[in-house]
């Protein structure tokens, strides 16, 4: 019988993983909740299991997902990103039920998912990092530690949720008064978002570049890296544009960061694919930030410049295969840029456009163009989930060629119905500092005019949108 692998996710990443499973000649099992009834992942997979009405609670229900694997006879589960991907209890439940979790061992997911624990492991291994506190004890004791740390190291500092992720639960603190007021707020937010109110403090790196390294490790103990990515273009600490490799001209520095990432992975006992994140300051110092124990949204840029299928490799490593290639086999060719095209209104504070129907969907193509999406013409975007519609990744020989290709693709992309972030990316691309590759995480704060989006839609597209919207309204008004 064909090997079966269950994909415990939805949207574009579910499709991405299903593709790799099917290319390997295995059978893909999808899971879904009711708001995803029209989802493409259900139709592309070989089988699908309905988990419940959701939203979100069923995708997050460890027991149900394990049952779905047992019922269909899946021997492995790929968790994608988000949902259960970094939940150590889920990885453990897979292990306990004899199901292969496509990721690192549960113990590694647990220790690295705790940012303070990860820092401790890395400090012991001699990995460079900014000074920081342990998780702050509740009440006055924790506050005193925080105040003392900030007096010693100076403001500004970063207050972070120990169990945080996705750019949430991170705030800059500029003075003691702010520290006093923000710690309780941060705790409450962390409890709501991560079911864990632990917070800690880290010295802030001023206007750093976010540089991360893709690593791959097999169960036999070989660990290699697939080069660097720059994810500095962020809004509210969330990545919007990702680039491979990093544009830092000092190649020796980049190599050193990549070697440090391998050392960090080894120190953590890492297995499978992961990402080691660093901050790099103006003086070329680099600091460990965290390790993400899963496939990342932006893995596509690394795949484009290395030619290596990371998800295929993830599956093979989880099934016990050794890495088929050595560090020296990994060659970086050209540049790749990925933009996250979200159904959001950049003119209205990036408000999600969930609930809208896609009246027209016309995607770009051509040399060096890759699309990872799940939306199609006629699809209504469920309101219950995140607003990522499609990732556009372009590959080019030089940085200039890659940016030119991205502009062409964004101009060719027509999505009518929901508003999208396409016009925002078109504005970013024409910024001179972006074109020079000269930016850090402060880019969108410095160039805040890019967020004050103007409607650059052509008259023709505006008319098409109007017609589509009228048509949509009409359709909506039919009585059954």
Per CB under 6 A, residues contacting ligand ADP are: 130, 158, 164-167, 170, 202, 204-205, 208, 210, 234, 237, 277, 279, 289-290, 307-309, 312-313, 316, 324-325, 329, 441
Nearer to ligand ADP, 230 or 345 (CB): 230
- Report DSSP letters for 103-128, one per residue: SS-HHHHHHHHSHHHHHHHHHHTT--
Residue numbers 149-208 binding Mg ion by CB under 5 A: none
| Residues 273/317, Cβ–Cβ less than 8 Å | yes
With CB atoms as reference, the residue minimizing the distance to Mg ion is 277
Read off the DSSP letter of residue 205.
P
In whole angstroms, the minimum distance from the beta carbon of 419 to ligand ADP comes to 26
In whole angstroms, the minimum distance from the beta carbon of 203 to ligand ADP comes to 6
Nearer to ligand ADP, 12 or 202 (CB): 202
CA angle 239, 116, 58 (to 5 degrees): 60
Please give the Cα distance from 26 to 4 (Å, whole number): 6
Catalytic residue among 294, 340, 405, 465: 294
Nearer to ligand ADP, 66 or 159 (CB): 159
Could you say which of ligand ADP, Mg ion, none residue 196 binds, taking C-beta under 5 to 8 angstroms by partner kind?
A: none
Three-state DSSP class for 244? strand
Asked if the bond preceding 245 is cis, omega within 30° of 0, the reply is yes
- Report DSSP letters for 260-309, one per residue: HHHHHHHHTT--EEEEEEEEE-TTS-EEEEEEE-S--TTHHHHHHHH---
In whole angstroms, the minimum distance from the beta carbon of 277 to Mg ion comes to 5
Nearer to Mg ion, 276 or 308 (CB): 276
String marking each residue 264-303 x if it binds Mg ion according to CB under 5 A: -------------x--------------------------
Q: Which residues contact 451 (CB under 8 A, 6 or more apart)?
A: 235, 346, 424, 444
Residue numbers 375-394 binding Mg ion by CB under 5 A: none
DSSP-based helix, strand, coil % in the chain, nearest 5? 40, 25, 35
Three-state DSSP class for 402? helix
- What is the size of the binding site for Mg ion (CB under 5 A)? 1
Could you say which of ligand ADP, Mg ion, none residue 316 binds, taking C-beta under 5 to 8 angstroms by partner kind?
A: ligand ADP
β-bridge mates for residue 372, sequence order: 391
With CB atoms as reference, the residue minimizing the distance to ligand ADP is 324
In whole angstroms, the minimum distance from the beta carbon of 310 to Mg ion comes to 18
Nearer to ligand ADP, 324 or 466 (CB): 324
Could you say which of Mg ion, ligand ADP, none residue 399 binds, taking C-beta under 5 to 8 angstroms by partner kind?
A: none
In whole angstroms, the minimum distance from the beta carbon of 33 to ligand ADP comes to 25
Please give the Cα distance from 76 to 74 (Å, whole number): 6
User: With 0-12 CB in 10 A as exposed, 13-18 as middle and 19+ as buried, what is 331?
Assistant: exposed
Q: Which residues contact 125 (CB under 8 A, 6 or more apart)?
A: 263, 264, 267
Residue numbers 409-468 binding Mg ion by CB under 5 A: none
Is 235 catalytic? The answer is no
- Report DSSP letters for 305-345, one per residue: HH---HHHHHHHHHTTPPPSS-GGG----SEEEEEEEESEE
In whole angstroms, the minimum distance from the beta carbon of 205 to ligand ADP comes to 4
Nearer to ligand ADP, 319 or 384 (CB): 319
From the centroid of its chain, how far is CA 416?
A: 25
Nearer to ligand ADP, 158 or 428 (CB): 158
Could you say which of ligand ADP, Mg ion, none residue 213 binds, taking C-beta under 5 to 8 angstroms by partner kind?
A: none
Could you say which of ligand ADP, Mg ion, none residue 166 binds, taking C-beta under 5 to 8 angstroms by partner kind?
A: ligand ADP
In whole angstroms, the minimum distance from the beta carbon of 13 to ligand ADP comes to 17
Binding site for Mg ion (CB under 5 A): 277
- Residues assigned a catalytic role: 294
């Amino acid at each position: 019988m064909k090997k079966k692998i269950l994909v415990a996710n939805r949207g574009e990443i579910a499709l991405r993983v299903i593709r790799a499973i099917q290319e390997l000649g295995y059978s893909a099992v999808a899971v879904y909740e009711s708001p995803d009834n029209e989802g493409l992942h259900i139709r592309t997979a070989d089988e699908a299991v309905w988990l419940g009405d959701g939203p979100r609670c069923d995708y997050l229900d460890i027991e149900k997902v394990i049952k779905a694997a047992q019922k269909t006879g899946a021997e492995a589960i790929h968790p994608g990103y988000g949902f259960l991907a970094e939940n150590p209890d889920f990885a453990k439940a897979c292990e306990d039920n004899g199901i292969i979790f496509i990721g690192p061992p549960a113990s590694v997911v647990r220790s690295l998912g705790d940012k303070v624990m990860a820092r401790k492991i890395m400090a012991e291994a001699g990995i460079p990092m900014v000074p920081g506190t342990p998780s702050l004890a509740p009440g006055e004791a924790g506050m005193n530690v925080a105040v003392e740390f900030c007096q010693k190291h100076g403001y500004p500092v970063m207050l972070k949720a120990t169990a945080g992720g996705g750019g949430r639960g991170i705030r800059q603190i500029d003075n003691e008064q702010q520290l006093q007021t923000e710690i309780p707020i941060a705790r409450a937010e962390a409890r709501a978002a991560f079911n864990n109110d632990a917070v800690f403090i880290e010295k802030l790196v001023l206007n750093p570049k976010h540089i991360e390294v893709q690593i791959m490790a097999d169960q036999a103990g070989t660990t290699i890296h697939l080069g660097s990515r720059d994810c500095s273009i962020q809004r509210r600490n969330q990545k919007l544009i990702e680039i491979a490799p990093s544009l830092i001209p000092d190649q020796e520095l980049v190599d050193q960061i990549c070697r440090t990432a391998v050392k960090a992975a080894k120190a953590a006992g890492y297995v499978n694919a992961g990402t080691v994140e660093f901050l790099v300051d103006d003086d070329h110092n680099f600091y460990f930030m965290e390790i993400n124990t899963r496939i990342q949204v932006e893995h596509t840029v690394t795949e484009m410049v290395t030619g290596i299928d990371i998800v295929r490799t993830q599956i093979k490593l989880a099934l016990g295969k050794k890495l088929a290639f050595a560090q020296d086999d990994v060659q970086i060719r050209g540049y790749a840029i990925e933009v996250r095209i979200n159904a959001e209104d950049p003119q209205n504070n990036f408000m999600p456009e969930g609930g809208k129907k896609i009246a027209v969907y016309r995607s770009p193509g051509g040399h060096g163009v890759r699309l990872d999406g799940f939306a199609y013409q006629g699809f209504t975007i469920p309101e219950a989930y995140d607003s990522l519609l499609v990732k556009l990744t372009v590959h080019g020989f030089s940085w200039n060629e890659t940016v030119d290709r991205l502009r062409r693709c964004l101009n060719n992309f027509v999505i009518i119905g929901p508003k999208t972030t396409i016009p925002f990316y078109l504005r970013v691309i024409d910024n001179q500092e972006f074109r020079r590759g000269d930016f850090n995480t402060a880019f969108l704060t410095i160039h805040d005019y890019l967020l004050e989006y103007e409607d650059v839609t052509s008259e023709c597209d505006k008319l098409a949108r109007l017609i589509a919207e009228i048509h949509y309204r009409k359709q909506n008004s039919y009585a059954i």
